[in-house]
């Protein structure tokens, strides 16, 4: 059997990070078995269609490092759905429904009052052929519904969850074709998955209750039923509810905008529903493709999306890449999301700046805040200049003494700066904290920075002393 998997997003908004996890699994499973991965845009819900969303979907999937072997758009396949719905009507597995929205709303309200599940009452199923034809000839608005079999159990096997069964009495006669002539998700997905020869359907476990409707359709057409793989949904750490944008980013593109590296995101997503059975935490995509198997997918409804762990993992990627690779990715991110990156005309200087801050950097969006003082000394925040010395006079004394001795350094480098600085401490009996924190704030405007002498070495003698003198004037 030639393995064929698919991802079928709707262009109704931004691509969800949970959908990217599902795409990762579907893509990897297909590639592991030398199969095909299909991208299909499910755009038949025209009321929710968002202009430009299709291109953004494709763009973010590419940014995460994925491609597809075949590409389809459902709105270009309407003739196919019309042909197949006629087969269902002719075989008695589907029927036209002429009920108005007002009647359906009243029916649902009555069911709610009686604490009954919302379900179509099949009024139009009892129409005669003559009545149906008269209504069609009169041009009455209508939908096409699926006729669910009576008094039976609809059973299917899930590759993760095992055998699942639903009584047909609990399943609604689902709308297959809407009044505008467009197919619903439930109809188009079955037709397309069959015609595209999809062998394994991977999706979130919220689709389990819909699967019996799809099974009924496969049987009505006499088609082979593909293998179902329902995956756990995402939740926040410590919560029992689905992932929510109230806690932070949920769309795949937002994580990229924040400055996460795609490879790190993919690595993190690999473990949201799957485990390797080992202690290994870092995977390339190729390694994951080789190791991925359905028998290690977790049998649970929800898995925790640990944002702190993602930050840690992304920081690890930043530290483990070469400096040149980080710089290239940083610049790609800045260009992609129109960020005015701190940089100069001297790439060697920029790389040295990056080398100093990347140990602390977790995401690219932290770069500008952590490097601003290297590129602009005009607005350094010195409001807390006296915090570590204890009083303005002591601050002035510290700055004067360091400026004086720093001016005597002929060969300005890390070793000489360090040597002279520690001699000043001994000479004037300063504590390292009061002296060096005062210098740090005076020269950078920050309390937390890379090592102070590394900063002075990179800024150079003239600029370092200029900043200390500027701070002295402000005392």
To which residue do tokens 């980080």 refer?
326
Token reading at 300 = 């649970």
Q: Is residue 372 within 8 Å of 357, Cβ to Cβ?
A: no
Strand pairing of 162-167 and 153-158? antiparallel
Task: List residues bridging with 167 in a β-sheet.
Answer: 153
User: How many alpha carbons lie under 13 Å from residue 258 in its C-beta half-sphere?
Assistant: 19
Give the integer Cα–Cα distance in Å for 413 and 408: 13
Q: Is 245 one of the catalytic residues?
A: yes
Of the candidates 248, 229, 226, which has an alpha carbon nearest to the alpha carbon of residue 239?
Answer: 248
Q: Is residue 146 within 8 Å of 84, Cβ to Cβ?
A: no
Give the integer Cα–Cα distance in Å for 225 and 325: 46
Q: Residue 165: in which H helix or E strand, if any?
A: strand 162-167
**Catalytic residue of the set 245, 427, 433, 447:** 245
CA 221 distance to own-chain centroid: 37
Of the candidates 96, 87, 187, which has an alpha carbon nearest to the alpha carbon of residue 139?
Answer: 96
How far are the Cα atoms of 105, 266, 350, 359, 365 from residue 315, in angstroms, in the given order?
Answer: 53, 14, 19, 8, 12
Residues recognised as catalytic: 245
């Amino acid at each position: 059997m030639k393995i064929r998997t698919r991802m079928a997003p709707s262009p109704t908004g931004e691509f969800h990070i949970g959908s990217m996890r599902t795409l990762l699994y579907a893509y990897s499973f297909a590639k592991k078995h030398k199969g095909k991965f299909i991208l299909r845009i499910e755009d038949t819900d025209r009321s929710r269609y968002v202009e430009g969303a299709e291109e953004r979907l494709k763009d973010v999937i590419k940014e995460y490092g994925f491609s597809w072997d075949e590409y389809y758009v459902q709105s270009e396949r309407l003739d196919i759905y019309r042909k197949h719905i006629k087969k269902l009507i002719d075989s008695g597995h589907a029927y036209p429904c002429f009920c108005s929205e007002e009647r359906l709303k009243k029916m649902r309200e009555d069911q709610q009052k009686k604490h009954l599940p919302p379900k179509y009452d099949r009024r139009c199923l009892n129409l005669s052929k003559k009545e149906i034809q008269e209504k069609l000839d009169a041009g009455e608005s209508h939908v096409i519904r699926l006729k669910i079999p009576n008094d039976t159990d609809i059973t299917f096997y899930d590759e993760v969850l095992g055998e699942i069964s639903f009584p047909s009495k609990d399943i609604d006669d689902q709308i297959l074709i809407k009044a505008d002539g467009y197919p619903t998700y439930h109809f188009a997905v079955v037709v397309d998955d069959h015609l595209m020869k999809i062998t394994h359907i991977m999706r979130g476990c919220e689709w389990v209750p819909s699967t019996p409707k799809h099974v009924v359709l496969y049987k009505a057409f006499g088609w082979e039923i593909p293998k179902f793989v329902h995956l756990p949904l995402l939740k926040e750490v410590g919560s029992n509810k689905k992932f929510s944008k109230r806690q932070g980013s949920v769309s795949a593109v937002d994580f990229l905008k924040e400055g996460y590296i795609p490879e790190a995101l993919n690595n993190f997503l690999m473990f949201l529903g799957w485990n390797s059975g080992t202690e290994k935490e870092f995977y390339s995509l190729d390694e994951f493709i080789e190791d991925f198997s359905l028998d290690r997918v977790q049998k649970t409804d929800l898995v925790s999306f640990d944002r702190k762990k993602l930050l840690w993992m992304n920081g690890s990627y930043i530290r483990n890449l070469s400096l040149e690779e980080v710089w290239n990715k940083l610049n790609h991110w800045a260009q992609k999301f129109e960020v005015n990156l701190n940089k100069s005309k001297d790439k060697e200087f920029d790389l040295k700046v990056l080398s100093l801050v990347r140990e602390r950097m977790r995401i690219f969006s932290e770069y500008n805040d952590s490097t601003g003082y290297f590129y602009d000394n005009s607005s350094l925040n010195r409001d807390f200049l006296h915090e570590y010395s204890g009083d303005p006079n002591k601050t002035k004394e510290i700055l004067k003494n360091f400026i004086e001795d720093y001016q005597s350094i002929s060969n300005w480098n890390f070793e000489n700066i360090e040597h002279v600085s520690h001699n000043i401490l001994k000479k004037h009996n300063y504590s390292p904290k009061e002296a060096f924190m005062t210098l740090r704030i005076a020269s950078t405007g920050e309390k937390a920075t890379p090592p102070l002498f590394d900063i002075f070495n990179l800024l150079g003698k003239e600029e370092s002393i200029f900043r200390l003198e500027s701070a002295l004037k402000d005392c």
